Amino acid sequence: MVDISSRDDEKRVEIAREKGRQDEQNSQKDRALATEKGRKLGQQEERARDPQKAGWGTKTKIIVSVIGIILIIAVIGILTLSVSVTNVAPGNALPYTTGYSVSFPEGQTIAIGNTQISVLSNQNELFSNIDGDQQKLVEGESRAIAERRALITTFGAVTVVDTNFQIDLTYKGDRDNRAYFDMAVHTSKQVPDYLLNQLLPPAIDARPM
């Protein structure tokens, strides 16, 4: 009886071990299947994201290219700005005014548009010559540059500004061989400062007031 019982016990133990091995194998298979499923799911998600990434990359390149083209056109537009000044009949409405502080080098002829200006001081007086018309000024006196028409274009043909203008100069005194004025530029249309500056030569060192 003892031997039979022992063999039965051994058999049951062996069966239990075998079941344990099978359970472990099944568990390993389940883990492997879960891992493989997770890997495939990750690949599917990555493939789903890739077209979106590619789409955003393409859109970014297009946006950068468009901005680059706009900047290039803007630079070319600025570099090709030109000003043409012609005489007009006076009396037009000039409601817009921009003020500058300017100084003219004495003894030199300066062109503002098609107007030729030269100044020369003598003690407390200033002799101003505008297009051959000479006048004597003392500090605080003014004289005007007759009304003109300014046409500012870019790219050789595109009109940016078409305005009439008149300039008033008020003499403020002289120093270091330069005659100083307050300059008021009256225009028929509102003109941005950077375009209005196209009318004013660097030699007069115009500074907004």
pLDDT score for 198 = 87
Answer yes or no: do 135 and 72 share one domain.
Answer: no
Answer yes or no: do 136 and 192 share one domain.
Answer: yes
Q: In sequence order, which residues have a C-beta less than 8 Å from that of residue 22 and are 6 or more positions away?
A: none
HEC readout, 45-110:
HHHHHHHHHHHHHHHHHHHHHHHHHHHHHHHHHHHCCEEEEEECCCCCCCCEEEEEEEEEECCCCE
Q: What is the dihedral of CA 145, 149, 155, 157, to 10 degrees?
A: -150
pLDDT score for 53 = 55
- Where does a domain end: 79, 98, 125? 79
From first to last of its 209 residues, what are the pLDDT tens digits of the chain? 545 666 666 666 677 676 667 766 766 776 767 677 767 776 666 665 655 555 666 788 888 888 988 888 877 767 777 888 999 998 899 999 999 999 999 999 999 989 999 999 988 889 999 999 999 999 999 999 999 999 999 887 888 899 999 999 999 999 999 999 999 999 999 999 988 988 899 999 999 99
Answer yes or no: do 126 and 203 share one domain.
Answer: yes
Residue 37, domain extent: 1-79
The whole-angstrom separation of Cα 172 and Cα 121 is 12
Answer yes or no: do 101 and 42 share one domain.
Answer: no
The whole-angstrom separation of Cα 35 and Cα 195 is 69
Answer yes or no: do 136 and 182 share one domain.
Answer: yes
Answer yes or no: do 113 and 183 share one domain.
Answer: yes
Answer yes or no: do 39 and 124 share one domain.
Answer: no
pLDDT score for 25 = 72
pLDDT score for 165 = 96
Answer yes or no: do 66 and 109 share one domain.
Answer: no
Answer yes or no: do 8 and 73 share one domain.
Answer: yes
Instruction: Report the domain count for the chain.
Output: 2
pLDDT score for 99 = 97
Query: How crowded is residue 102: how many other Cβ atoms within 10 Å of its Cβ?
Result: 23
pLDDT score for 154 = 87
pLDDT score for 58 = 79
> The whole model's pTM is what?
0.66
pLDDT score for 127 = 95
Answer yes or no: do 87 and 74 share one domain.
Answer: no
pLDDT score for 54 = 54
Answer yes or no: do 90 and 173 share one domain.
Answer: yes
- Where does a domain end: 79, 101, 135? 79
- Where does a domain end: 79, 107, 135? 79
The whole-angstrom separation of Cα 75 and Cα 196 is 18
Answer yes or no: do 123 and 178 share one domain.
Answer: yes
